[in-house]
Each structure stands twice: as structure tokens, then as C-alpha cells.
Amino acid sequence: MPHAENHLIEQLPRQDRRHLLALCEPVELVLSEVLCEADQVIHHVYFPVNGFISLVAVIDGHPGLEVGMVGREGMLGAPLTLGVPTAPLRALVQGAGAAWRIDSGSFLAELRRNDALQKGLDRYLYVSIAQLASAATCLRYHLIGPRLARWLLMSQDRAHADHFHVTHEFLAYMLGVRRVGVTVAACSLQRAGLIAYRRGEVRVLDRSGLEAAACSCYAADRQAYARHVR
């Protein structure tokens, strides 16, 4: 397991943090792996360290639409904190990397014992709900270009690197648009010198420029997390 840590675990008091980690096992998140499906029982909770996970809504047999993302700042399996044993969304590994994993039974027992963990996850769940609402609004009112810039920034934040792997096909799937729309938007960002894209590899060249090109939802989500969770 790398030295980097999950923020929700990191903010716990030392004794509570050690007790939780003793119950967890280190795992590797594999790109495109489905960790759970909507309406299925949650068997494990994941605390990503340097991998990240897309939360995908699927309806009427369509490929799906990304409505949220979980990385080092969060956890997968939040419904358990509300006493709900099933997942509302498909969880798909978007960025390979390390995570801590704990089985649902051990997690629930620890949640009952660990008040600091319960309080921290309550705040995280509140922010997650607000971000899901933001994602729906973003899809309705914001153009593909600013939405793509936001998505790339969110991925960079969770990849902890200036470059990561993603194809136009996968981007179209995540953003709920046609592939040609993603191609046009990505080419525009590349011509502006904000990113470089080649054979499925994206490199962020101008972080501040990409932030300026992104829709307002990116900054709003970061502010909400900083205000309520950190």
C-alpha cells in the first residue's frame, strides 16, 4: 500500500484510524472492474487511496451515465451508513490503483463502535447527495466542453498525476454524449494548449487554464467538500 492515504480515514483520531485499518485489507482496483451493480447487496466497502471509481446510473438498457466519482476523498458503500444494504448505482473502476477494503459486516460493527467515523461519513454522505444533484443540473444546462474540462479536473484530482488513461468512447459513455461531441470538445481543449491527448492518454498541460474552461460545478463541488468534510 502506498504512503498516500484516504482522506476520510486520515482525518480520524489516531486510535480510531488504527482500529479501522486493522480491519481493512489492501487491494488493487483494476481498470473497468465493476465493484457492484445497482440494487445488489453491498458486500464490501472501499476507501480508495490512489485509484478512483465512477458511479454510473443505468436505465432502460442504455450504457449508463456517470453521476458521481469516488477517489481518495471518499468511500464506496455509503448507503450502509444509513442502514441500507443495497447499492443505488453501478460502481465502475475508472482509474486503477490502491484502496482499502473492508467487508460490510465488519464495517457496520466498526461504525457502531467508532463515533468519529460515523460523524465523518454522515458529512461525506451529505456532500455526496449535493454533488449528485449538481451532476444532474450540470448535464441539463452546461455544454460538453466545460463539462469535459470539469471531468478531466476531477479525474486528475483523484489520479494524483498530470496524466491518465481514457478513451473517447469511455468519455462519451461517462458524459452521456455522442463520441463525436467528445472528440470536438477534446480537440478544442488541445488546441488551446490545456491538454495533450494521444492514443487514449490524456496529459494536463495547463491546470489553471483547464479550471477556467470548466463549468462552475467543479469549484462548487470542491468548496462543498472543503466546507463540510475537511
Distance CA 152, CA 131 (A): 16
pLDDT class for 1, splitting at 50, 70, 90?
very low
Distance CA 77, CA 205 (A): 34
CATH 1.20.120.1200 fits 143-214, yes or no: no
Averaged pLDDT, 163-180:
80
Residue 60, SS3?
coil
| CATH T-level assignment (fold) for domain 7-138 | Jelly Rolls (2.60.120)
The residue type at 81: T
pLDDT at position 68 over 60: yes
pLDDT at position 4 over 70: no
Return all residues near 167 (Cβ < 8 A) that are at least 6 apart: 200
Q: What is the pLDDT of residue 205?
A: 94
Residues across the chain: 230
Give the angle subtended at the CA of 14 by the CAs of 11 and 18, to the nearest 5°. 105
Instruction: Pick the range with the lowest mean pLDDT from 28-32, 187-191, 224-228.
Output: 224-228
Determine the distance from the C-alpha atom of residue 44 to the mean position of all C-alpha atoms in its chain, rounded to a whole number: 17
Measured torsion, CA atoms of residues 11, 14, 18, 24, in degrees rounded to the nearest 10: 0
**Domain residue extents for the chain:** 7-138, 143-214
Predicted TM-score (pTM) of this structure: 0.87
Q: Are 135 and 142 in contact (CB under 8 A)?
A: no
